[in-house]
């Protein structure tokens, strides 16, 4: 029964309750304890669910680790794939029986395809891959999942684990590049690009320079793509000159601004450049307090009003760094707690 498909499992005509199976007469089912005779919140289980889990608790109580118990866990998982206890018991049985793990990998593949946003199913696959010490199927498998959901967090997390654990970096940047060509706004792909470089060649000067050219080209195509702007800022954190001393970036930003573009991410980066120069006590005709205050006002009132309190806070903070404790530009700002409550971070 454990190898049956979901359709077969859900088919009431073919289903036989465990309580009616002759080969399960020796097991005493254990009912769910919901809190006594008068539970505060009583869950209404289906008869099938109650039957399966009563017998599962029965075999767990006596510690039975057999093929029929393994099949029972599959039926329990078909009813609730998020039950961690069932998955752990299944792994205990697999170990005890020295089961065919290649077969188990095929089983969990089918389960993940039906429940691809369930943490427990991905954890189980990771454990099986670790036991097998064979990651040969993981990139292709996760790629298949990402075809249907390019931003599936669990698939990306598993892919990164497999790549880092087994050193599967070769060809990953090319794969990421293909994803970005398909969808330039794929924030997961941008994150993966950062992950691969950070764990391989690193963000040395020539890599930063090449990546800056790459991301500026993408931003030029879609200036309102927040993911690309975040990636750019992440790159500049590795630049020895900081945010405001990369000529390629400053020239690009100024040209974009002068063209009339008012992307909130462009303005936010220029504000950060001003903040950096002022924090470093550097005199600058371009990235100064006056410009920072004007941009924060524009962001708060026109471009990004949903985060107006954050931009008011930024204006006040930068003014204080510049030695201006009060004044028109610094008025109206909230403290860090208020700004945080406004949920207004634009960092990577």
Residues 6+ positions from 268 with CB-CB distance below 8 Å: 229, 299, 304, 346
Look up 117 and say whether it is catalytic. Answer: yes
CB atoms within 10 A of CB 65: 16
Integer angstrom CA distances of residue 67 from 55, 58, 94, 210:
14, 15, 9, 56
Nearest to 111 by CA among 149, 75, 165: 75
Tell me, what DSSP letter sits at residue 302? I
Tens-level pLDDT at each residue, the chain (348 residues): 344 444 445 556 689 999 999 999 999 999 887 666 666 666 778 999 999 999 999 999 999 999 999 999 999 999 999 999 999 999 999 999 999 999 999 999 999 999 999 999 999 999 999 999 999 999 999 999 999 999 999 999 999 999 999 999 999 999 999 999 999 999 999 999 999 999 999 999 999 999 999 999 999 999 999 999 999 999 999 999 899 999 999 999 999 999 999 999 999 999 999 999 999 988 878 999 999 999 999 999 999 999 999 999 999 999 999 887 544 444 444 443 444 344 444 443
Domains of the chain: 1-99 (1.25.40), 262-323 (no CATH)
pTM reported for the whole predicted model: 0.85
Q: Which residue has the tokens 């389960």?
A: 111
Which of 101, 85, 81 minimizes the C-alpha distance to 6?
81
Q: Which of 110, 117, 164, 290 is catalytic?
A: 117
Task: Report how far residue 80's alpha carbon sits from residue 121's, in angstroms, rounded to the nearest whole number.
Answer: 11
């Amino acid at each position: 029964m454990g190898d049956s498909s979901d359709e077969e499992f859900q088919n009431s005509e073919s289903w036989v309750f465990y309580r009616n199976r002759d080969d399960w007469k020796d097991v005493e089912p254990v009912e769910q304890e919901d809190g006594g005779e008068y539970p505060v919140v009583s869950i209404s289980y289906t008869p099938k669910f109650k039957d399966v889990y009563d017998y599962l608790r029965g075999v767990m109580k006596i510690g039975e680790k057999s093929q029929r118990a393994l099949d029972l866990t599959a039926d329990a998982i078909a009813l609730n794939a998020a039950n961690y206890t069932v998955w752990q018991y299944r792994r205990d049985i697999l170990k005890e029986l020295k089961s065919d793990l290649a077969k188990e990998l095929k089983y969990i593949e089918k389960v993940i395809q039906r429940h691809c946003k369930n943490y427990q199913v991905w954890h189980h696959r990771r454990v099986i891959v670790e036991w097998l010490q064979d990651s040969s199927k993981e990139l292709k498998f996760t790629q298949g999942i990402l075809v249907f959901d390019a931003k599936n967090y669990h698939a990306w997390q598993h892919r990164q684990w497999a790549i880092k654990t087994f050193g599967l970096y070769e060809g990953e940047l090319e794969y990421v590049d293909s994803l970005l060509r398909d969808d330039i706004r794929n924030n997961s792909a941008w994150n993966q690009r950062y992950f691969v470089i950070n764990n391989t060649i690193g963000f040395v000067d020539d890599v930063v320079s090449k990546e800056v050219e790459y991301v500026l080209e993408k931003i030029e195509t879609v200036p309102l793509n927040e993911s690309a702007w975040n990636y750019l800022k992440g790159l500049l954190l590795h630049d020895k000159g900081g945010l405001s001393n990369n000529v390629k970036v400053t020239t690009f930003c100024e040209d974009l601004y002068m063209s009339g573009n008012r992307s909130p991410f462009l303005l936010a980066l220029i504000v950060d450049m001003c903040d950096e120069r002022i924090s470093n006590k550097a005199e600058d005709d371009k990235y100064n307090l006056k410009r920072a205050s004007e941009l924060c006002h524009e962001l708060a009132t026109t471009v990004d009003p949903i985060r107006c309190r954050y931009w008011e806070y930024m204006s006040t903070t930068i003014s204080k760094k510049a030695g201006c404790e009060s004044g028109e530009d610094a008025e109206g700002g909230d403290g860090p707690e208020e700004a945080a409550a406004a949920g207004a971070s634009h960092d990577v």
